[in-house]
Chains A and B, each alone.
Chain A
Amino acid sequence: MSPALETRALCKSFGALTVAAQIDFTLETGARHALIGPNGAGKTTFVNMLMGGLAPTSGSIMLGGDEVTRQSQRQRVKRGLGRTFQINTLFRSLTVVDNVALAVAERHGVAWGMFRPAGGYRAVLDESMQVLEMLGLAADAKLPLAAMPYGKQRLVEIAIALGMRPKVLLLDEPAAGIPSLESHRILEVLDALPAEIAILIIEHDMELVFRFARRITVLAQGAVLMEGSPAEVSSDARVRQVYLGERRE
């Protein structure tokens, strides 16, 4: 069976500046994969290329075995690619459940309906509530989003992505902006995500990464430094050097 997401020799240069060099990457179905690397390693560029926001200079991207390198973001979303943003990118003037409902409605194909009231689409509302329940946000469903604390908004960010029933989910620093004492909540949520979704998270919070990921890819200066299990990565000397610097003996 083809992997959920795959890139082959993916490259991106801006003139003489190479931000992505020959990246070969595979994400299996049901994967719990993390992408780490120091600042400037090219993680965000990689994600933008996966999503379709940035065109690669060369190489290919495959989604579920199909070539999507030339396809727009919308087309990739239709094929089951979902993402969350590093900074909360939400519908601030709507309620929590509406935020999710917008995504669900798009998937159901009802968002073009102009005559029946939105409230009449029970299926959309029910499914949105289910997603919120899964994330423990059901009690806040009717609150305006702007009234929610940042940490909960971060969860709504994930809820919207889940509303799209993605096959592949890219989580861009889900714990960003959340004090490390509270990141266990994010971890709980991530652990509870459906097993069949292939998940790639980009994170700096190493505790989260090592507890969540089954495989880790390390990116440095636009190229893959290494890929392996958490144990392999944490004991690799090159990774140590890139992240922590040389140890003074």
Chain B
Amino acid sequence: MSTPSAASHTGSYLSDPRVRFIEWLPWVLAIACYFAAPTYLPLGSYILIMILFALSLDLILGYAGIITLGHAAYFGFGAYVAAILAVRGTADPLIGIVVAGAAAGLLGWLTGLVILRTRGLTLLMLTLAITSICYEIANKAGTWTGGADGLGGFAMKPILGLFKFDLFGKTGYLYCLVFLFLGWWLVRRMIYSPFGASLTGMRDNVLRMHAVGSPVYQRLVVVYSISAALAGIAGALLVHTTEFVGLKVLSFDLSGELLVMLILGGVGRIYGAFVGPLVYLIAQDSLAKQFPEYWYFGIGLMLVLVVMFARGGILGLLDKLLSRMRRGKP
């Protein structure tokens, strides 16, 4: 693990929790895009959703050190709950978000209780098994989930009765932006709190945490549940903005892609979850359409190179660059 610099957000009893000037940049950019790039708003919404999803993964992977290949389970569960609710219950978006988030959080809590007693390969295996089970259920329970065809054909009601989801995705974009902001605020607060510090402790040296009397298992279950709830909310956002849900939201593919996005940006530093999906999805949008195989190959190659030479991802490289520039100055 790299040593923390002022730019990386670790839960330290010394760090200054006030939001730095540069941290407002992503939000300024997001609002600028709303006005400057109106045709790209659907892609923009997807990016915002993936950032929230990546933030939820960073919480457990980058901070608590839980290595999982199955985070899509909670994203997908939230998505399907939101879709099924819209079809069979109410199509009110805010109720959908709350229900999906709570349901995903509950699933996270129940599965967390069960799997967080294990570590290493066993834990990894269990995360895969859980996603696979969810996928199988969604695949087979066609009357509820639409099976392999997915579930669509529903229209979301206006948010708060006022803001209709329009065809250009403008409402959807702001909708996702608001929830991303709330999710970011929540995660950031947690990281800087004593709870966040203890997460870093567990990631660094779980043996030591046991020896200082920390209730490691309970903490892991709590952070896992919160992460699952956030992932579920991201899934619901996807369903609300696209008015469709398919099996992809529960696939190992998606979990893998999310992992790539987060690693690309930089793990364990909040804004890696912003940079990674942004760079990945924009690159994918331009390159993958033309050469899908080469794109896939390139992603694999990039992952290998990042692991071998640039473990901190893009933000890690930026860090190194900045510190080298600082050292260069007299």
B-binding residues in A (CB < 8 A): 51, 73-74, 77-78, 82-83, 85, 89-95, 97-98, 101-103, 105-107, 110-119, 121, 124-125, 128, 142, 144, 146-147, 160, 163-164
Question: Which of B29-37, B164-172, B202-210, B282-290 lines the interface with chain A?
Answer: B202-210
- At the interface with chain A, which of B11-19, B39-47, B272-280? B11-19
Number of A-B residue pairs, CB cutoff 8 Å, is: 135
Q: How far is the CA of A97 from the CA of B4 in the complex (A)?
A: 14
Among candidates A77, A94, A105, A117, residue contacting B200 with C-beta atoms closer than 8 Å: A94
**Interface with A: B140-148, B150-158, B185-193, which one?**
B185-193
Residues of A near B198 (CB, < 8 A) are 102, 105-106, 111
Partner of A114, one of B193, B200, B205, B212: B193
The answer to whether A93 and B4 touch (CB under 8 A), given A114-B193, A117-B17, is yes
CA distance A126 to B302 in the complex (A): 45
Whole-angstrom distance from the CB of B5 to the nearest CB of chain A? 9
Q: Which of A77, A119, A160 contacts B13 (CB 8 A)?
A: A119
Partner among B13, B203, B214 whose Cβ is within 8 Å of the Cβ of A101: B13
> For A163, what are the chain B residues with a Cβ–Cβ distance below 8 Å?
212
Enumerate 5 A-B pairs (CB-CB under 8 Å) in ascending A order.
A73-B210, A92-B204, A93-B2, A102-B201, A114-B190
Quick one: given A112-B194, A114-B189, A114-B190, are A91 and B13 in contact (CB under 8 Å)?
A: no
Residues of B within 8 A of A97 (CB): 13-14
CB-based nearest A residue for B192: A117
Nearest-Cβ distance from residue A245 to partner chain B, whole angstroms:
36
B1 interface contact, C-beta 8 A: yes
In contact, B208 and A91 (Cβ under 8 angstroms):
yes
Q: B211 near A115 (CB under 8 angstroms)?
A: no
Across-interface contacts of B208 in A (CB, < 8 A)? 85, 89-91, 160
Give residues of chain B (40-97) contacting chain A, Cβ–Cβ below 8 Å: none
B residues lining the A interface (CB < 8 Å): 1-4, 10-17, 189-190, 192-198, 200-201, 203-205, 207-215, 219
Closest-by-CB residue of A relative to B207 is: A89
Q: Is the CB of A91 within 8 A of B201?
A: yes
Which of A78, A114, A115, A160 gathers the greatest number of chain B CB atoms within 10 Å?
Answer: A114
CB distance from A52 to the nearest CB of B (A): 9
For A73, the chain B residues whose CB sits under 8 A away are 210-211, 213
Asked whether B194 lies within 8 Å of A94 as measured between CB atoms, the reply is: no
Q: Is the CB of B204 within 8 A of A142?
A: no
The answer to whether B212 and A160 have CB atoms under 8 Å apart is: yes
A142 to B196, CA, bound (A): 18
Determine if B205 and A118 form an interchain contact, defined as CB atoms under 8 angstroms apart: no
How far apart are A200's CB and chain B's nearest CB, in angstroms?
15
Cross-chain contact A125 with B13 (CB below 8 angstroms): yes
Residue from the set B4, B193, B203, B215 with the largest chain A CB neighbour count within 10 Å: B193
Contacts of B4 in A (CB 8 A): 93-95, 144
For the complex of A and B, list the 9 residue pairs with the smallest distance between their C-beta atoms, beginning with the closest. A77-B213, A117-B17, A103-B212, A91-B204, A101-B13, A93-B1, A144-B3, A114-B195, A117-B192
